[in-house]
Amino acid sequence: MTNSNLIPVFNGLIANQPVQLCNARELHAFVESKQDYSNWIKNRITDYGFVQDEDYIIVTQRTNGRPRKEYHITLDMGKELAMVERNEKGRQVRKYFIECERRALQPQDNELLQLLMRIYCY
């Protein structure tokens, strides 16, 4: 598995600001946590003081049955969650998120963020 596809990273908005996000469910699976996902994300949010609409947003997705909450988290939150796993997968994904942020700051990749800001801020 190459660093370019560890966990999908996508552009989104939190508090009308463009940010890079990932799905916490995919991070949980990648770091191979032994704790079930719903308890893992809720405990991490509580234990580390993450704030909704600042560090993450909740998106409700309709599936075949009942609605499912997806936590779209900032890469900063993702890095912290990865670090506290204290395993090789956590270290690997933390470095990957740092690289994603570095690439986003390069001029050619920053054009999309500027476009999003123009669309949503006017």
Distance (Å, whole) CA 5 – CA 114? 24
**pLDDT tens digits for range 75-122:** 999 999 999 999 999 999 999 999 999 888 776 656 677 777 777 775
Spatial contact of 21 and 36, defined as CB atoms under 8 Å apart: no
**pLDDT tens digits for range 38-83:** 999 999 999 999 999 999 999 998 878 888 999 999 999 999 999 9
Beta-strand ranges (E) seen in the chain are: 9-14, 17-23, 56-61, 68-74
